[in-house]
Amino acid sequence: MARTHGRILCRIWDNPEFLALDHEAQRLYMFLLSQRDLTFAGLIPMRSRRWAAKVRDTCAEDIEATLCDLARAHFVLVDDDTEEVLVRTYVRNDEVYRLPKVMIRMREDARQIESQRLRTALRDELQRLPLDELSDEPGRNDGPSTRAQVTAVVDALLSDLADPSRKGSGKGIGKGSRDLPRRVPDTPRVRAGVFPLPPTPSPQPLDGSPQASNVTDVTREPTDALTPGGHS
């Protein structure tokens, strides 16, 4: 089910937290909502270079700085390790929760999230869904009601997101989310695939004498996680 449009609710212009953002952050937020690869769970891969190419006189560093502004205002969460962005209130504000069939697809999308921090944030958001607004009327052929169907999907997904091992696919759980730097540092940021593969070790001599290793162990310092919070 491909997305063909993004929903912008009129009430966003009554939200003081949104109005407090500058025009670049507001525009980027609406840009994210209208991307084809935004999933029904509100997740989108972080593609700062590709996004920058859509705007004249904008670079990837500008996009990342603006993402940081959105993250600080809790409109999005960013995991720089797994290169994922979560539009925090997407499932609720796009009213995905009102459509049982779309919710089934949303569950599959949510299970693909690599970042455990983003999975936890989405889990918190699911518990805020106004499911009491859904109909209790029996479905077709006396089947379960809309509320019963959606509640069953939400309950199953809450269990999925609480257990990192319960995923549809993927390479594992990200190391955590953090703010993107507001100012671009002098040193380049590390991206996946930047470093070449380590050289193939030379074969050991037949007499068993030791050889010096030429492979340097590079470790990455842990970073503070962005605390999920929320605008309405």
pTM of structure: 0.70
pLDDT digits (tens, 9 = 90+) for 41-56: 999 999 999 999 999 9
Q: Which helix (H) or strand (E) holds 77?
A: strand 76-79
The 10 Å Cβ neighbour count of residue 202 is 10
Asked if residue 230 has pLDDT above 80, the reply is no
Is residue 70 within 8 A of residue 28, CB to CB? The reply is yes
Domain ranges for the chain, please list them: 10-134+142-162
List Cβ neighbours of 149 (8 Å cut-off, separation of 6 or more).
Answer: 100, 103, 139
> Cα angle vertex 17, ends 89, 128, to 5°?
30
- Give dist(CA 86, CA 104) in Å, integer: 19
Q: What is the pLDDT of residues 113-163, one digit of tens each?
A: 999 999 999 999 999 999 999 999 987 878 899 999 999 999 999 999 987
